[in-house]
Structure 1
Amino acid sequence: MNGSSVVNGTEGGVDTNSSSRPVTLAIIGCGQRGKGYAEYALKAPGKCKVVAIAEPRPKTRAAMATAHAIEPSLVFHTWEELYAVSSESFKGTGKRLADAVVVAVQDRMHCPVVLAFAEQGYDILCEKPMATSVSDCVRMAEAVKKAGIIFGMGHVLRYSPYIKAMSDIIHSGSLGRLINIQHLEPIGYYHFAHSYVRGAWRKEEDASFSLMTKSCHMLAPATPVRVSSFGSLQHFRKSEKPATAGSATRCLDCSYESECPYSAKSIYLDRVKAGHKSWPCSVIVDGVPDIENITGALQIGPYGKCVYESDNDVVDNQVVNIEFSSGATISFTMVAFTTLICERQTRLHFTHGEIIGDMSSFSVTDFRVRAPPDTSPSTIPNTAIPNGNTSSSLPVHPGTKIHNPPLEGGGHGGGDLGLISAFVEAVRTQKQDILGVDVEDILTSHLAVFAAEKSRREGCVVSIPEFIEDAKARFGGDV
């Protein structure tokens, strides 16, 4: 569709006539991420309102337009159509269609969309990763700085109550100096099969390497200095295909299907038959998933293919070691083969204590608290740990306290809601620091991930400052 309506037209990112009206958003990409961010407008209509959308899939587009009562003239098939109408509006009236845009299209489209709307002066929330090449990341950062806009990145974990509570303790210095972090990113066996073997992130050429698309969240202890990394695609390849699967290329035609942990029938069709309508079923069809459309998708689409016959090429396991300017070190592991689905496991070691967390609750132990001399070792039973933590019993130390941050709802432990609410407030007040990071911080985190991938591919230790300096020298000034 196209049109020329201007809803709550804005100048300079905020409505010059009213500081109390909701911040207006244009959502570019109405899939799982775009829809998730837009839900904040339904939960807090006094804070923000979705006034325009761009989405190529007809049923998904119609559902979003209906949910947010969007004027038909501001419902677009493509981001280019939205951009063209915005350009006409800005030339004719000096006003934009909305205060800000949420960029939730496929990863390789982030750069052109951000460059276009930054030039028009829109504040922007961009889903992670920033971009899929070093050059595009640098160009985007320069465009954002040149435009002087509010810029948020979909690093949702840093906005979850769990991470915020843990960060407060880390930065307080109450446990002394941070020495080491051990972090496990358990992607989940069927999640990896869904997203990185059959899904949109399966091929580096079409998306990016898996460390970037899954694990580009912010680095915190200090300036990252050196990185080394190892990893490969171990299992999801033809040489690992069970002999009993024979020549079958689709799960619905395979005699091994009932034994396969990666069966598309089990992951999608059986779930829908049981009444499951959300992820991962919802993302493989346009509209509400049902037995008929899911069966059709498995018969002809990539989500029904055998995981050993797919065209995937991204790694299914990777370790990354980082040294920071403070001397602190991080050991990070990303692995597909877990029952946990993105429930990160973290251990942080300080000079005077440690923190152990599982994305739900975390324990804080102060070594300086002493037990009576006759105290014998004991354990905390699983039932004593909040939020149903079922990890093995934890040793009792008299200086240990269990923290159970509130679960505020929404994806990523409340991180989705935390990010969009912070972004909306940053746009309303025109204060970037509400987001806790700026575009330079975001760029650094992404370039550190590219440096890790360089280490993995070339088998060398990479100097991150040199990598960043070289990237800016090569690609800076190219906006």
Structure 2
Amino acid sequence: MSSRLSKSFFRKGSKTKDEPMALPTSTGVQSVVTLAVIGCGQRGKNYSQYSLDFPEQCKVVAIAEPRPATRKQFAQEHQIDQTLVFRTWEELLAASEDTVKAIGKRLADAVLVTVQDHMHLEVTTAFAKQGYHILCEKPMSTSVEGCIEMEEVVRKANIIFGMGHVMRYSPYSQEITEVIRSGSLGELVNAVHVEPVGYYHFAHSYVRGSWGKERDSSFSLMTKCCHDIDLLCHWFGPAKPTRVSSFGSLKHFNKASKPMEARGATRCLDCPMEKKCEYSAKKIYLEPVAHGQTGWPIKPLVDGVPDIENVMEALQTGPYGRCVYECENDVCDNQVVNLEFSNGSTASLTMVAFSSTICERQTRLHFTHGEIVGDMHKFTVTDFRKKTSKTFRPSNLGGHGGGDIGLIRSFVEAVRFGKQQILGTNVEEVMQNHLIVFAAELSRKEGRVVDCRAFEVEARDMVAAANAKT
């Protein structure tokens, strides 16, 4: 394969100089930040919960959601005026444009982009061009070209921009960051970071679900672990990644691994060995809903409130009832990434499907004078010089160890005060850390060590050349 960037990463066919300004009020600071939510699924719901818990901080005033029952339920929960409830994001965008032309005002202060991955670029750039502040769920885009395009549009719009790299914003991660930045353990030399996705979580999302096929979304390192790479880069900063290598494969979730006892069954409800299979859709979805569980991972199966009847129908006819060995999935179920930084430090990331814990990252950070060992619930700091160890148990409220609420809180504050630095990052850094993930996947596919800086230069040159032709 050519040493040049793989075309599969491209769509077919330092901080910004000026801080974005808050929308003007009589005091110069937003009181209650208004939000428009595009995509009212799991991520949109999680972020929007902040407005219900802290109505003095923000309020959801407009939504766009194609599923009728989900749209109705979300609108009722947030008491949204029916004139601001839309089926598609294009309808919301058009209504906003009409409002801007008529009275010179947007429908909201900011937009939460929580649609499917392949839509992030189009939706984010459209609303950024209208001047909305943006919180975009990860990833920025499913292509290198898209990430660079989004960076350019956001910079030109001079807006507040947040990315769904929630790992940075949990109390657990932030307390570890404080220890690193304090220098009390010396210099950070090495990190060993493991993302145990969880056996049924991986089967749900990356085999049967929306992230199972690269052509429909992206490769699993990007869709699952781009915020792990972001966190590692954050911890080692200001040093930058210089070289990356990666290995991985789709080891298990394929036809070759299908048990003989399953015979010709293609759906769990028809399978003779369903009771013995850990990936049984009946065990993962139907039995829990029979006991009153209606949240994740059951909620994504239906539009509206899950019950025995509609979940059964979904398993009989929809993608979540398929045998995990008979799906069209093609993304890695195990992958390792090795990073070298500009100061000589190193890090490794392991993403693996086969674990009992669900996304409870395990991390070992090795310093010149100590170490930190953590599991997202607690971490232990050992100082070699003092010969002491102390365990910390940060608060853990909400999804991703409190990272979801930490991110939306920071984003709302950034919009409120017109200060990008409240988010602790900017679109340029976000884009660069996405490029590290693309470089790692290129390494896996081509079997070579990738120079990170050369990768970015080549990517920008290719995009510039493509733009020059159009």
- Answer yes or no: same fold by TM over 0.5: yes
**Is 1:269–2:286 an aligned residue pair?**
yes
Q: Is the partner of 2:435 in helix, strand or coil?
A: helix
Q: CA deviation at 1:177?
A: 0.9
Identity %: 61
Kindly provide the CA deviation profile for residues 409-429 of structure 1, in whole angstroms up to 9, marking residues without a partner as x: 211111100000000000011
Provide the residue aligned with 2:13 in structure 1. none
CA gap of 1:48–1:35, structure 2 versus 1, over 3 A, is same
**Is 1:328–2:345 an aligned residue pair?**
yes
Separation of aligned partners in 2, 1:55 and 1:133? 25
Matching residue's letter, 2:318: G
Provide the residue aligned with 1:278 in structure 2. 295
Kindly provide the CA deviation profile for residues 393-440 of structure 1, in whole angstroms up to 9, marking residues without a partner as x: xxxxx4110011122x21111110000000000001110000000001
**Is 1:223–2:223 an aligned residue pair?**
no
**Is 1:105–2:115 an aligned residue pair?**
yes
Mapping for residues 74-473 of structure 1, pairs under 5 Å: 74-217=84-227, 218=230, 219-220=233-234, 221=236, 222-369=239-386, 398-407=387-396, 409-473=397-461
Matching residue's letter, 2:420: Q
Matching residue's letter, 1:234: K
For the Cα contact (< 8 Å) 2:64–2:86, is it kept in 1?
yes
Q: CA deviation at 1:476?
A: 4.5
Q: Is the partner of 2:66 in helix, strand or coil?
A: coil
Separation of aligned partners in 2, 1:124 and 1:256? 48
Separation of aligned partners in 2, 1:334 and 1:302? 24
Separation of aligned partners in 2, 1:472 and 1:114? 20
Matching residue's letter, 2:264: S
Separation of aligned partners in 1, 2:21 and 2:180? 37
Kindly provide the CA deviation profile for residues 44-96 of structure 1, in whole angstroms up to 9, marking residues without a partner as x: 00000000000000011001100111010100000000001111111222110
Provide the residue aligned with 1:395 in structure 2. none
Tell me which of 23, 41, 44 is aligned to 1:31: 41
Rg (Cα) greater in structure: 1
Point out which structure has higher relative CO (alpha carbons under 8 A, 6+ apart). 2
For the Cα contact (< 8 Å) 1:201–1:207, is it kept in 2?
yes
CA gap of 1:12–1:358, structure 2 versus 1, over 3 A, is closer
Q: Is the partner of 1:346 in helix, strand or coil?
A: strand
For the Cα contact (< 8 Å) 2:243–2:451, is it kept in 1?
yes
Matching residue's letter, 2:403: G
Separation of aligned partners in 1, 2:185 and 2:289? 48
Separation of aligned partners in 2, 1:173 and 1:476? 41
Separation of aligned partners in 1, 2:464 and 2:370? 43
Matching residue's letter, 1:259: K
Matching residue's letter, 2:115: V
Q: Is the partner of 2:205 in helix, strand or coil?
A: helix
Separation of aligned partners in 2, 1:230 and 1:127? 26
Separation of aligned partners in 2, 1:365 and 1:195? 37
For the Cα contact (< 8 Å) 1:13–1:123, is it kept in 2?
no
Q: Is the partner of 2:402 in helix, strand or coil?
A: helix
Q: CA deviation at 1:183?
A: 0.5
Q: Aligned pairs, how many?
A: 440
Separation of aligned partners in 2, 1:436 and 1:326? 22
For the Cα contact (< 8 Å) 1:124–1:149, is it kept in 2?
yes
The RMSD of aligned alpha carbons is 1.3
Separation of aligned partners in 2, 1:266 and 1:475? 47
Q: Which moved more, 1:422-431 or 1:20-29?
A: 20-29
Q: CA deviation at 1:128?
A: 0.4
For the Cα contact (< 8 Å) 1:138–1:476, is it kept in 2?
no
Q: Is the partner of 1:125 in helix, strand or coil?
A: strand
For the Cα contact (< 8 Å) 2:30–2:415, is it kept in 1?
no
For the Cα contact (< 8 Å) 2:189–2:345, is it kept in 1?
yes
TM-score computed with the length of structure 1 as normaliser: 0.90
